[in-house]
A = this chain, B = another copy of it.
Amino acid sequence: MTFILYQLPVNTHTTMLGTSFIGYSRGLSTGPQAFAINPANGEVMEPGYAAPSSAEVEQAVSLAASAFPVYRMTSASERAKFLRAIAAEIEASVDAIAARGAAETGLPEARLRGETARTIGQLRLFATMLDDGSWLDARIETAIPDRQPIAKPDLRSMLRPLGPVAVFCASNFPLAYSVAGGDTASALAVGCPVIVKAHSSHPGTAEIVASAVVRASQACQMPEGVFSVLYGSGRDVGMTLVKHPSVKAVGFTGSFAGGRALMDAAAARPEPIPVYAEMSSINPVVMLPGILAEKSAALAEGFFQSLTMGVGQFCTNPGLLFLQDGSQQPFIDALTELIHKAAPGVMLNAGICQAYQDATSNAAKQLGVTQIASTNPPSNGQGAPMIFVCSAESFLQNPALTHEMFGPASLIVIGSLDEIAAAAEALEGQLTASIHGTSAELAANGNLLEILERRAGRIIFNGFPTGVEVCHSMVHGGPYPSTSGGRSTSVGTMAAARFARAVAWQNAPQSLLPAELQDANPLSIPRMVDGKRC
């Protein structure tokens, strides 16, 4: 079997083989092959990507399981060095990533470069987190031998890694939530080996990034199995990973159906494991009348930008907008003008494009819904920006109107403030909720804010939901079904805790404690000592 290799820019070290990464080896090319398809022109891209055999999947998991006892005992500084080495290797491959990634996803090269920068920054942020050490929640309580009625023992606790983690790549973030994205970075930071299931839409980008991670892993002398990447289908390879006894947690970004299937499989295991699935969200936005009166045109422009960015293919895309009846017309007029002129964009793959067409066609058919569409018809593979408008009464009576339309479409709901509050209360869990208002009207709507806070992971004031800052205080996780549980974030350093559990040491000799818990605090990390943070 011969491969016609995709032409890579000269500054990459990667030869495209189209096979899985099984620890430090490459898989066989004998399995059924799948090809990336350029969504802009339908071109089939070489090489074909071979599904791993069952034995190869087993080998990847087995290597991860045997790497775990070694990798988990590496020091925080060794893992920080590893993450920085991955970042540097990816940085060196950015031209190859941008070229192949743009062809595979239909996203512009500038977006691929930006997302690569974000991915590198994310890896470096987790390295900084390891340097700092506060993520460990290290706690020390010293013994009180003469306490009555019984002696108090010496107790110390901190977070420890769970074990091998299966990471599913996202279609819409070929870098930041794929092979070396947030799930991988946080799991590796904590001390968990990672087995990645590559996404079929961008296998070549996955191969370039995987090669970078493997080079870093070898250069840092990490145990083989700390990182593997498997091609093949989610139902077959992915489900095998989720059900495997050696896999201890799952990170997933994708559809509700896919995420829930993984949750159900993980919950049904003899040993259930956590699935951190980031699934679907319509990200309600409320614009109060006072602010609309002040700047309808600017709000329409901001909303349009947020709606159409990346052809609307963000989990934080604003899919729902509440306006108080009577205040809406100047805003809707301004937005209508923008939508009419809007250019359709190439969507990530044919499946997503078809689902967008189906969802928007369905929305247009619902009772009491008016459609505002672009006057520029989409070509094959493209999605056109679109707005739907209905009354709060229609919205409250029709659950179909709360379904996500993944792409550049949004539903505007017009009603009284009471109806808007009732509609917000009726919403399922969301990643974000945004509210626009003057200072006075925000202060006067505490009830609505309280409702939105119960429904979402992040509340945005006078802003739009797209643009998820990678930082310490980001919460990119809301109540179900926006994520599997809402008790974690997939973006930012708090994501690390997903793959860890606290362990306590009772009356341990100093020399047998992790350095982080020794009296002398040799790593100078923040800790809680006898109830006080210091």
Contact = CB atoms under 8 A, between A and B. Distances in A.
A463 B507 contact: yes
Interface residues of A, number: 80
Contacts of A471: 141, 152, 155
Nearest to A269: B480
Interface in A138-152: 139-141, 149-150, 152
B512 A473 contact: no
Contacts of A268: 264, 267
A461 B506 contact: yes
Contact of A507 (B457, B462, B484): B462
A531 B157 CA distance: 22
A443 interface: yes
A155 B454 contact: no
Interface stretch (A213-221, A331-339, A486-494): A486-494
Nearest to A157: B473
A114 interface: yes
Contacts of A511: 443
B272 A469 contact: no
Nearest to A449: B512
Interface string A264-278: 100110011010000
A260 to B, nearest CB: 9
Nearest to A533: B526
A397 interface: no
Interface in A361-397: none
Interface string A467-486: 10101111101011100111
A318 to B, nearest CB: 14
B480 A512 contact: no
A284 to B, nearest CB: 14
A60 to B, nearest CB: 20
Contacts of A489: 502
A157 B439 CA distance: 21
A503 B267 contact: no
Nearest to A481: B271
A36 to B, nearest CB: 28
A291 interface: no
A459 B504 contact: yes
A24 interface: no
A469 B155 contact: yes
A267 B263 contact: yes
Contacts of A479: 271, 501
B267 A140 contact: no
